[in-house]
Amino acid sequence: MADPILRLEHLAKSYGALNVTQDVCLDVRPGEVHALIGPNGAGKTTLVGEIAGAVRPDAGRIVFAGRDVTHLGVAARARLGLGRVFQVSQVIGGFSARENVMLAALAHQGGPARGGAWRMWRPARADAALAGAAEAALARVGLGARADVPAGALAHGERRALELAMALVQAPKLLLLDEPMAGTGRAEGARLTDLLLGLKGTLPMLLVEHDTRTVFALADRITVLIGGAVAITGAPEAVRANAEVRRAYLGEEEAV
Ligand SMILES: Nc1ncnc2c1ncn2[C@@H]1O[C@H](COP(=O)(O)OP(=O)(O)OP(=O)(O)O)[C@@H](O)[C@H]1O
Ligand SMILES: [Mg+2]
């Protein structure tokens, strides 16, 4: 089998007496959607932070695209192709959807830490190639016809799609998604799930999501995190059938 795009080896992280990540081993294979699920406070967001470089693990190793990135910062990992879906705050409401994606592409090229994106924005705004790349990313998320709309005027679900386009324009080798459906209504959530289904197979994803419908629709494999430790990693059917998982996490949803 091909080498995994991401491999976590015995990652550990504590805050005082609280072991938030306990001996976590996990790999994401090329092309797969790997879902990370677990109860509130299980340590999912912390683990995503450790992968992205925002949270420093106490022990263990992170290998991304064949490189040990354990000691690299967020920007260096992003340049290697670790894509994290932008938080809402990074969307500029007064800029069009196209301009927001162009700015994300520029930030990736110039290194956001150095303020490069802003320095280059004035000439870049007229850059046809950059605009074309942004439009292609918008088309991938179904916003092709909304390129000129100010981001602030987009519906909530469209904004989540825009954030996805902002990550995609950076041509990530792995996409980290922490609750992409959060705050969306049922119809919007279903559209976003369809959108991710359409992207499935074009790039590997590590997806944190509470909506089990979305998780089971998308995931090739699922890792269940309970109390910071991996309870099980397996195919969706195996995870669904696991007694401990049903008790600790899936029980309520399954009973509905
Ligand atoms: N910087 C921090 N300092 C102290 N404790 C923290 C810190 N960050 C997270 N924690 C604690 O670590 C635990 C795991 O938090 P985390 O946000 O990773 O969980 P989660 O699985 O993402 O939860 P949710 O499903 O609610 O998003 C929680 O008990 C949280 O309070
Ligand atoms: Mg979280």
Q: What is the pLDDT of residues 62-71, one digit of tens each?
A: 999 999 999 9
> 146: CA distance to ligand 2 center in Å?
30
Q: What is the pLDDT of residues 137-156, one digit of tens each?
A: 999 999 999 999 999 999 98
What is the reported pLDDT for 86?
Answer: 64
- What are the counts of helices (DSSP H) followed by strands (DSSP E) for the chain? 11, 10
Q: What is the pLDDT of residues 23-50, one digit of tens each?
A: 999 999 999 999 999 999 999 999 999 9
CA angle in degrees (0–180, nearest 5) for 237-201-240: 10
Q: What is the mean pLDDT of residues 73-82?
A: 93
> Which has more confidence, 115 or 81?
81
What is the reported pLDDT for 113?
Answer: 42
Phi/psi of residue 170, each to 5°?
-85, 5
**Per-residue confidence at 131, pLDDT binned at 50, 70, 90?**
very high
Classify each residue of 25-46 as buried b or exposed e, where b means 16 or more C-beta atoms within 10 Å of its C-beta.
ebbbbeebbbbbbbeeebbbbb
What is the reported pLDDT for 18?
Answer: 96
Q: What is the pLDDT of residues 199-239, one digit of tens each?
A: 999 999 999 998 888 999 999 999 999 999 999 999 999 99
Q: What is the mean pLDDT of residues 11-20?
A: 97
| Residue 196: C-alpha distances to residues 37, 161, 204 (Å) | 17, 10, 11
Q: What is the pLDDT of residues 86-119, one digit of tens each?
A: 656 679 999 999 999 999 998 887 654 445 566 6
Testing ligand 1's pocket by substitution, the residue of 22, 46, 212, 223 carrying the most ligand atoms inside 8 A of its CB is 46
**Inter-residue contact 228 to 21 (CB < 8 Å):** yes
What is the reported pLDDT for 206?
Answer: 97
CA angle in degrees (0–180, nearest 5) for 28-31-34: 40
Domain spans in the chain, listed from the N-terminal domain onward? 1-81+176-256, 94-171
Residue 200 is inside which H or E element, if any? none
Testing ligand 1's pocket by substitution, the residue of 19, 24, 44 carrying the most ligand atoms inside 8 A of its CB is 44
> 37: CA distance to ligand 2 center in Å?
10
Domain boundaries 1-81+176-256, corresponding CATH code? 3.40.50.300
What is the reported pLDDT for 250?
Answer: 61
